Amino acid sequence: MQNVIVIVYLAVVLLVGLLAGRGIKNMKDYAVADKSFGSMVIFATLSASFIGGGFSMGNAEKVFLIGIANIVALWGFSLKEILVATFIAPRMERYPDAISVGDIMEPHYGKGARVFSGIFGVALCAGILGAQVGAMGYIFNLFLGIDRSTGILIGCGIVIAYATFGGMRSVVWTDVIQFLVLTVGIPLTLYFGIRQAGGWESLTASIPAARLQLPTEPGAVLSLAALFLTFLLGETLVPPYVQRLLIGRSAGHVSRGTMMSGLFSIPFFAITGLIGLVALALDPSLNPNLAMPFVIKASLHPILQGIVIAAVISIIMSSADSFLNGAAIAFSNDIVRPLRSTPLESGTELMLARLTTLGVGLLAILFALSIESLLDILIYAYNFWAPTVLVPLAAAILGFRATRRRFIAGAAAGIAAALAWNNLTAVPFHIDGLVVGCLANLAVFFMVPAGE
């Protein structure tokens, strides 16, 4: 029965994606869906986009291993969404014709900055997509008996089909369906998982007390703060989320949708993390990567399993399609377009964006097969963005003096600091190089005189 539910669900998502994508005629429609969406749709698509395999299965895995401190660390992402809603989203009306990060960067820093942000945007999207693709493999393997590699190919193929055909319209409307399913399915998993463990008191009594406590030693507190900053900075203003800031009917709709998404993520991250504790209580010897799938399988009736498996697949697909689309737009609009001496015809440009998804999908598969931990894939991918593009992009949107000299100096400092920190030190207190690189970029950006 659960297999039937999953197959029907996948067919519905594919059909909705293909139907929603009809009538796409140009890059603007493909990238930002003609800026036609209200706050509730933005809330749903943004939430579905960021709650991917890393923030669900990966969160359960890390809480299984280290405890609730990982939930607190993920709240750095929640704070980021709230800050973006407050300070960034209201200013996006300054870019009425923008469809990508490069369209924002070029007026402030020049064509080179646009290409630079496009290259790093594609690399980032491929890495984050890799986390989602890897999660697909685990789900298909555990529940449908398909080996991990084949599951990766099947799941990625479905996403590529509708994301390639319909662009942002397909992505948004499939995200809405996926959001509705995951907001029901994942809380159900926690509820029945706690019941399976004998109730909350029995659960907490059967796991080490340290898993339920935040660290108090100065070094551990510093490590937690560094991880909090990693999630605060790592996905800030990455291409798919910038696109969500550009699809609204007005800045008010974008701000409200983004704020609701940030507030929603706070309890949702707690739910996915606590599922990891349920898995620990039920089977301490379990492979941590399978914490969430194990709880689903151990605690739910087969019919409910089908619904919740569909919810988990929703989580993964909704994030994967967003980063596929973001990579395609970054490549075609921010790399190919500025490097050509003559513009591509509208139809050719649209076809290029669609074909790009295949290449990004292959890169994502390589990421997924080479790195085991889903959250580790995310953190690795973050190093392509926060130390290089985040500071100049945010500075430009917020109205600070943005010049080519500041961009070059800041990005060079960010790259150098991140590489040196990750490769020449023992990474003290588990402070990732992206935090050091981002801070170096910030310091140098504002230290350099604002000349052309």
pLDDT one-digit tens code per residue, 72-87: 999 999 999 999 999 9
What's the confidence (pLDDT) of residue 145?
81
CATH number at residue 166: 1.20.1730.10
What's the confidence (pLDDT) of residue 158?
85
Q: Within a domain: residue 419? A: no
Q: Within a domain: residue 402? A: no
> What are the residue ranges in the chain where pLDDT is below 70?
367-381, 451-452
What's the confidence (pLDDT) of residue 154?
79
Which residues have CB under 8 Å from 199's CB, separation 6+? none
What's the confidence (pLDDT) of residue 128?
76
Residues spanned by the domain of 350 = 2-376
What's the confidence (pLDDT) of residue 181?
86
List residues bridging with 37 in a β-sheet.
248
pLDDT one-digit tens code per residue, 161-202: 888 888 889 989 998 988 888 898 899 999 999 999 999 999
Residue 431 phi/psi, 5-degree rounding, is: -80, 115
Q: Within a domain: residue 81? A: yes
Decide: pTM greater than 0.95. no
What's the confidence (pLDDT) of residue 117?
94
What's the confidence (pLDDT) of residue 155?
78
What's the confidence (pLDDT) of residue 416?
94
Q: How many CB atoms are closer than 10 A to CB 136? A: 25
| Average pLDDT in the chain | 87
User: In the numeric block, which tokens belong to residue 289?
Assistant: 């990567």
Q: Within a domain: residue 452? A: no
What's the confidence (pLDDT) of residue 367?
65
Q: Within a domain: residue 371? A: yes
What's the confidence (pLDDT) of residue 57?
82
Q: Within a domain: residue 18? A: yes
Q: Within a domain: residue 450? A: no
Domain count for the chain: 1
What's the confidence (pLDDT) of residue 75?
96
What is the residue type of 416? A
Radius of gyration for the alpha carbons in the chain, expressed in angstroms and rounded: 21
What's the confidence (pLDDT) of residue 286?
92
User: What's the Cα-to-Cα distance from 357 to each of 108, 129, 178, 409, rounded to whole Å?
Assistant: 28, 11, 21, 32
Q: Within a domain: residue 440? A: no
